[in-house]
Structure 1
Amino acid sequence: MKRLILPLLGAGLLALNACSTTDSSTTTSATDAASTSATGTAADATATTATDTANTAMAPASADSSPAMQDGSMAKADPTGPTAPHADDKEFMMSAAHSDQNEIQLSRMALTKDVSANAKTLANQMIADHTKSTANLKPIAAKAGVTLPLGMDAEHKALAPTMAKLTGKEFETKYLAQMVTDHQKTANTLAAHKTMTKNTALNGWITTTLPVVEQHLSMAHKDSNMKM
């Protein structure tokens, strides 16, 4: 009887040991798999973050932040933007002459104020170029039977007394801002009327004058930005 019991006990112990080993192995494998999965996920997340960061760094800058726009070097006419009245050639030529006088007289005022050297350089160029512009327009207007005005328009006549009271930096800031506004409007007017007029001589005057006005616009933009 004892001989039968001992072999049976031995077989039972071996079976229990085998089960224990299998369970341990299974648990270890599951643990290792979970650990590997977690490690892989973390690594993937790190790699994705690094890739996103690199892509962001290589992304091109927005066109709106272009330095060329900030210094005014790309300032251009926009014929679809705000323009002075130009229903016909007569109205256009009178408006153009008013524009010349607006810039000439405000620039003469600037030279009497305590403004920077850049502002004085701009003012002197405004006076010279807009005086020449009117001189070149006169024979074209005369041939068309148009008498050009010799003063500023109503808007600038109303503005002049207010500007006359300003001095130093306050005047310069206002003056430069007005030069930007005026020259953008004038450039737009020139570009728009160029597509309308049938007067060959007037079209040629616009072709010559528009680049000068755009240059003034760029200068005013640049000087205005320097004051900010």
Structure 2
Amino acid sequence: MEDSKKHISRELILETTLSLIDENKSIKDVSLRVIAKKVGCAHTNLYNYFSSLEEIFWETLGELLLIMIEFCGNGVDEETNQERKIFLVFSNLIDFCMNHPGWYSFIWFEPMGGKPSPRVIEILKRPGAKLAELIKIANNISNERAKLIYDILHSYMHGELSKWINKRSFISKSEQTKQIILSRIKGLYRLLLKEGEQLEKFIEIQN
């Protein structure tokens, strides 16, 4: 099977890996042979594009985060209210994670060997930085305070989504769960803004 006939490329391999993780809801059964079979080549051909399965996983993670960032930006440019922009991003993020639990697990839970490339390391920093920047702009606060607020909000959301994805939540319906998470994020966000002086003191202690 020649690559030219099968149109095999790095992009196709990464797209295929993403699809398999989404279908399997895990990387557990995603091997070089499984990827190659779906791509339509011998598994040894994958070494023409990647040095190992670990490299494929790291590069796939980078591509997944770019997809997630694009999805989370849906409708944000059209929204004129800065606070609603923040909540819209969180709403989109919750939808993305609930619609793709396998991808969410891949991002946060799946152990991987090897090391990410400098490009992937840079991508890993983008999601949090973008949301923290929105919080900063909306409230004219310091980078440190905006990042702390983002970290607290995201940690809460992550905990709730982890319970739901792993079927540890008492509420099984996704829409009901989403509304509860989003409502609490809004309340927590506004509460954190009111505690400005205390947050600044906390930041000073941490530094």
Relative contact order higher in (CA < 8 Å, ≥ 6 apart): 1
TM over 0.5: no
TM-score (norm 2): 0.25
Q: Is the radius of gyration larger for structure 1 or structure 2?
A: 1
**Which structure carries more helix by proportion?**
1
